[in-house]
Amino acid sequence: MKGLFFIVLALECACQLYSQDIPRKDINPANLVDEIFAAQDLDLDYQDLYENYLQLISNPLNLNVVTEEQLRSLYILSQEQINLLVKYRQQSGPFISVYELQTIFDRDTFSKVVPFLTVPDPTRSINHSILRRVVNEQNNYLLLRWGKTLEQQKGYTENASPSTRYAGTPDKFYARFRTSKAGDFSLGFTVKKDAGETISWNPAKKYYGFDYLSFHLQTLNKGKLKNLIIGDFQAQFGQGITLGSAFGIGKNGEAVTTMRRANIGFSPYTSIYEAGYFRGAAVSYVLTKYLTLHSLASLRGRDGSVQQDTLATTADYLSSFSYTGLHRTTAELANRNSITESNVAGILQFKKQSLDLGVIVHHTQFNTSLQRTPSVYNGFYFNGDRNTNAGAYLNYNFSNFSFFSEFTQTINNGRGLVAGLLASLTPKLDVSLLYRKYDKNFHSFYSNAIAENSVPQNETGIYWGWKYSFTKKYSFTGYFDLFSFPWLKYRSYSPSYGSEWLVRFNYKPSKTVSLFLQAREESKQRNTGIANNFYLTDNGIKRSYWINCDYAASPQLTFRSRAQFSGYSLAGNTTRGMVLLQDISYTFGRFSVSGRYALFDTDDYDNRLYVYEQDAWLNFTFPAYFGKGIRNYLLLQYRVNSKTDLWLRWSKTHYTDRTVIGSGGDTIAGDTKNDVKLQARIRF
């Protein structure tokens, strides 16, 4: 499996950032998105997930120094293909051009991986001062984005209740600047204002203009100092049980490569997701030829609901965290940075040839104790003001086999374990096996380990995935996953078990036509709610079916047709959903335009359908089609010159089953919602 997935505009962005002119006509970002999230019906914020994943691949990697783990983090190449690349570099010397990869990979693999790799110009010396290199670096951009919902929402009206009245304007604003050189340095900042938020200057409340401000400065490969980041960063070690980046891909249509996390260490954080990152300093220092010490120290504010004891008999306590990143209402503003979180961690890594192992210790502490409101299912959730994890990981590659594992102990609580194997059994067959076990009282705040639950806790499972390529035109992928939950969980008030499988058939008769068929089934026990008795559970089965075809009438004109169907059965009741859509894209001169017409019809929220939509560069739209109606969008891009690009996007959702859209402050009195967006990218 390794390979295919990426992220949508990551691809588009990478193609345009790199110094070498990579032919983009052979790359369809939408296809890659489908391979990343083959399910696309989970209750997740896909836009945030895309954004977090993108930062791992939105900057080109130096092909002459890129490591196996960095290649693995792209989730494109199989272990066999990684071995071929490394062997070629060892035998033939440094790459002169990325096009040399055509002698190693087939055309399909080459077209997917090449936008994320670069061979720096050897005439551009790195012997200048860091300041001069930053000033002269050509790989930079400034991104400015504005957006707004055209209909008036209740939160902006005078008759809105105090709890739903928004403090700011309905405008959204976002700006990002970044400049970087592969293997040398990176610096940048990101600012964001969500709809309903204000722009103000109040240092006492940690307001410095925009509601969200992120920044970083990174330097790489300075003697024994391999990596130093000041500002915002994320960490990815082992299999992500103890320390995992904000987003890790799990089960998907490719079914093999994403099962193993890449041990890439520290990387800058440039996402707009306002949780899941560290703020402070991270350093990786080489102790000996085979030993490297990684460490981090972080101190930052977190959003949460702090409760006060009206009788003043106990100290204030935290009842829950908030992850939305929205600060519009009085309550949301009160939760903003209401608690302080500190993190320290150390990782001692031993790396020699194909053996990579390490020990990890990570401590998290809050200035306010977390005390959840007791319920029937959260008896083993984390409570308190500190948590310490200690563990170890072991990765080993042999020929076309890749073994990976990690074990972590929450001090005075439970354990987490992941162990797996990736194998290229033949040039046509790749397989993956993975076992996972997380105790009900295991706690990890920065984990992206493979799990059926939203967090790695209260779960045991075994997974098998495969990819078989009959020819260059035909391939067949799939997976089967068995899991159990020894303790109660949300919406399932009894110990339970479940299963999930997916099969996908890919057919690409030519460079201009590709087709895939996909079926997926997930079975989980859930509260039925019959007679208002939430302790009664039954097996809930979700089934989904996809038919998709991409075809090009010419290099300038492309089409996509798709039908998605779903069904959900619980306690003898079955509901259904469907969406039919047609996409079209056309490029002429400096202009490109793309659009969609979609019809959707779902009986309930259990049958919501997520479908990726093309958007401006480095922005993603992945709405849940829910209810009955029509969805349209139109995206226009204009390349002003080699340094400046403009995007204009309009989208419209018209519902036929309601006269009110949304809830709370987002309520729209009507059956139609229109959104507009304007974006500019400037390169210096």
Q: Please check whether residue 415 is in contact with residue 446, taking contact to mean a CB–CB distance below 8 angstroms.
A: no
Across 52-69, average pLDDT: 72
What the block records as the tokens of 483 is 């899991």
Q: Examine the pLDDT at 574 and tell me if it is beyond 60.
A: yes
DSSP string, 363-417: EEEEEEEE-PPP-SS-TTS--EEEEEEEEEEEEEEETTEEEEEEEEEETTS-EEE
Q: Based on C-alpha coordinates, what's the Rg of the chain?
A: 25
Banded pLDDT at 454 (limits 50, 70, 90): confident
Q: Examine the pLDDT at 6 and tell me if it is beyond 70.
A: no
pLDDT value of position 1:
33
**Cα 460 to Cα 100: distance, rounded to the nearest angstrom:** 44
Banded pLDDT at 49 (limits 50, 70, 90): low
Q: Please check whether residue 455 is in contact with residue 432, taking contact to mean a CB–CB distance below 8 angstroms.
A: no
Nearest to 442 by CA among 455, 431, 454: 455
**Cα 390 to Cα 666: distance, rounded to the nearest angstrom:** 43
pLDDT value of position 14:
37
**Cα 321 to Cα 329: distance, rounded to the nearest angstrom:** 16
Banded pLDDT at 8 (limits 50, 70, 90): very low
**Cα 582 to Cα 580: distance, rounded to the nearest angstrom:** 7
pLDDT in tens, 133-154: 777 777 789 999 999 999 999 9
Nearest to 564 by CA among 32, 37, 41: 41
pLDDT value of position 226:
94
pLDDT in tens, 191-203: 999 999 999 888 8
pLDDT value of position 427:
87
Nearest to 119 by CA among 210, 19, 188: 19
Across 381-398, average pLDDT: 95
**φ and ψ of 88, to 5 deg:** -60, -45
Give whole-number Cα distances, 302 to 189, 211, 340, in Å. Answer: 19, 13, 6
Q: Examine the pLDDT at 5 and tell me if it is beyond 50.
A: no
**Cα 157 to Cα 554: distance, rounded to the nearest angstrom:** 49
Kindly report which listed range (30-39, 264-273, 504-513, 583-592) carries the lowest average pLDDT score: 30-39
**Cα 609 to Cα 462: distance, rounded to the nearest angstrom:** 27
Question: Looking at per-residue confidence, does 28 or 312 come out higher?
Answer: 312
Q: Please check whether residue 115 is in contact with residue 11, taking contact to mean a CB–CB distance below 8 angstroms.
A: yes
| DSSP secondary structure code for residue 262 in this structure | P
Kindly report which listed range (264-278, 331-345, 375-389, 561-575) carries the lowest average pLDDT score: 264-278
pLDDT value of position 28:
45
Q: Examine the pLDDT at 124 and tell me if it is beyond 70.
A: no
pLDDT value of position 7:
32
Banded pLDDT at 112 (limits 50, 70, 90): confident
pLDDT value of position 274:
86
What the block records as the tokens of 532 is 């208002």
**φ and ψ of 653, to 5 deg:** -120, 120
Angle formed by the axes of helices 8-17 and 46-54, nearest 10°: 30
pLDDT in tens, 258-282: 888 888 899 999 888 888 899 999 9
- What average pLDDT does the structure give for the chain? 87
Which of 50-64, 251-265, 559-573 ranks highest by mean pLDDT?
559-573
Looking at the chain, the whole-number percentage of residues with pLDDT higher than 90 is 60
DSSP string, 34-87: HHH-S---SSS-HHHHHHHHHTTTSS-EETTT--HHHHHHTT---HHHHHHHHH
**Cα 219 to Cα 229: distance, rounded to the nearest angstrom:** 7
pLDDT value of position 15:
37
Q: Examine the pLDDT at 130 and tell me if it is beyond 90.
A: no
Strand partners, 542: 522, 568
Element holding 492 (H helix, E strand): none
pLDDT value of position 32:
57
Q: Please check whether residue 253 is in contact with residue 244, taking contact to mean a CB–CB distance below 8 angstroms.
A: no
Looking at the chain, the whole-number percentage of residues with pLDDT higher than 70 is 88
pLDDT value of position 438:
98
pLDDT value of position 245:
76
pLDDT value of position 55:
57
pLDDT in tens, 500-516: 999 999 999 988 999 99
Element holding 184 (H helix, E strand): none
pLDDT in tens, 183-229: 888 999 999 999 999 998 888 778 888 999 999 999 998 999 999 99
Banded pLDDT at 372 (limits 50, 70, 90): very high
